[in-house]
Amino acid sequence: MSDFTAACVQLRSGKNIAENIEQCSDLIRQAAAAGARFVQTPEMTNVLVRSRDELMERIAGEDEDLTIGQLRKLAEELGVWIHIGSIAVRFGDKVANRGFLLSPEGRIAARYSKIHMFDVDLPNGESWRESATYEPGTKAVITDLPWAHLGMAICYDVRFPAIFREQAKQGAEILSAPAAFTRQTGEAHWHVLQRARAIENGAYMISAAQGGRHEDGRETYGHSLIVDPWGVVIGEIDHDEPGFLTAVIKPEETGKARQRIPAIANERDFSVEIVRQVQEAMN
């Protein structure tokens, strides 16, 4: 397994899909010129719109999606792998929050639909109900890169360790959670969650992010990250402005980390016993 340079592209996607594609494409070109052979974009690369009706008016099905079409051409032109963190695509009367891996030949090599829906009321008054708009996926995905195996996930999935554990057990050396983390949750949890998933699985985490105040009024945290299998942040955009970062990925470091801390090999099945002390005492 040879080393390669990976990049995260950080965006501030708005409502205009064409403008989002233009900014994203420019940053991918810059990352490729800096030596990146694998470039990841954030969740909702194509558009960020809070209104369900407005979102449905702007997006298309996978076959007609402008972002996929343009980035497939760009992957072929630049000869790089592009991991579209996710886009919103029509899926029947709902929407799929779906990521795509594009090969240097411009083909769709893999796709993954976000499994976990962010349905929450935050203390600052923000309320999100992704399940009202999006159809959740049902399958975790691992796919091949020339250098390593990539596990695909999206944003809120990072809070559900079982996905990443199973991907690691099935051979993934690189894990990912491209995101549009809210500022509030990002400030509290973004770094620790990314590092935790890397450490507990002895794997790289590559997670491009949305950042800043968006046209629809939301605020996202930014701070795109690449974390190595020992939990060290080896690349970060330490702000919420659009941009890109690069870092060298050394797939053999995964094997070294898993030898030093063989948590996957040492894992055992177990059951949970509930002992109700208070109830027994009352009886």
Please name the residue that has the structure tokens 């990146």: 36
Pairing of strands 38-40, 81-91: parallel
| Residue 119 half-sphere exposure toward CB, CA atoms < 13 A | 11
CB 224 within 8 A of CB 236: yes
Query: What single letter denotes the amino acid at residue 220?
Result: T
Tokens of 24: 């994203």
Catalytic residue among 114, 173, 250, 253: 114
- Give the 3-state secondary structure of residue 280: helix
Residue from 108, 112, 90 nearest 99 by CA: 112
Catalytic residue among 8, 24, 43, 173: 43
Catalytic-residue membership of 256: no
| Residue 231 half-sphere exposure toward CB, CA atoms < 13 A | 11
- Give the 3-state secondary structure of residue 197: helix
Catalytic-residue membership of 155: yes
**Sign of the dihedral through C-alpha 250, 79, 65, 149:** negative
Please name the residue that has the structure tokens 């549009």: 180
Query: How would you class 215 by CB atoms within 10 Å of its CB: exposed for 0-12, middle for 13-18, buried for 19 or more?
Result: middle
Catalytic-residue membership of 43: yes
Q: Which residues pair with 187 in a beta bridge?
A: none
DSSP 50: S
- Tell me the C-alpha to C-alpha distance, in Å, between residue 166 and each of 84, 169, 190, 267: 22, 5, 21, 12
Catalytic residue numbers, as ranges: 43, 114, 155
